[in-house]
A = this chain, B = another copy of it.
Amino acid sequence: MESVTIKDIAKRCNVAVSTVSRAINNHPDINPETRRKIMQVIEENHYIPNNSAQNLKKSVSKTIGVVIKGADNQLFAKMRPVLVEGIAQYDYDSDMEYISISGDEIREALRLVKEKRLKGLIFLGGNHNRTAEELKSVPVPFVMCTVDMEETVPKELYSSVSVDSYRESYRMVDYLCTKGYRKIAILAGSKGDESVGRLRLNGYRDALAAHQIPMEEKRILYSQDWAEDVFSMENGYRMAKKLIESEVDFDCVYAVADSIAIGACRALLQSGLKIPEQCGLAGFDGLDETKYYYPSITTMRQPVKEMAEEAVRMLFSMLHKGAPNQHSIFPGELTERESTMK
Contact = CB atoms under 8 A, between A and B. Distances in A.
Contacts of A234: 288, 292
Question: How many chain copies?
Answer: 2
A56 interface: yes
Contacts of A294: 265-266, 269-270, 294
Interface string A73-85: 0100110110010
A46 B114 contact: yes
B263 A292 contact: yes
A279 B294 CA distance: 16
A139 B4 CA distance: 12
Given A115-B49, A289-B289, A292-B233, A72 B61 contact: no
A80 B71 contact: yes
Interface string A243-271: 00000000000000000001101100110
A52 B49 contact: no
Given A56-B56, A98-B81, A116-B52, A266 B296 contact: yes
A237 interface: yes
A56 B52 contact: yes
Interface in A281-340: 288-289, 291-294, 296
Given A71-B80, A78-B72, A294-B270, A117 B262 contact: no
Contacts of A53: 52, 56
A135 interface: no
A9 to B, nearest CB: 13
A98 B80 contact: yes
Given A53-B56, A77-B72, A48 B292 contact: no
B52 A117 contact: yes
B139 A262 contact: no
B72 A98 contact: no
Contacts of A37: none
Interface in A52-108: 52-53, 55-56, 60-61, 71-72, 74, 77-78, 80-81, 84, 96, 98
A266 B237 contact: no
A318 to B, nearest CB: 14
A260 to B, nearest CB: 10
Given A77-B72, A80-B71, A288 B233 contact: yes
A167 to B, nearest CB: 28
A292 B56 contact: no
A129 interface: no
21 contacts: A1-B140, A3-B114, A48-B114, A49-B115, A50-B56, A50-B115, A52-B61, A52-B116, A53-B56, A71-B77, A77-B77, A80-B98, A81-B98, A96-B96, A234-B288, A262-B292, A265-B292, A265-B294, A266-B293, A266-B296, A289-B289
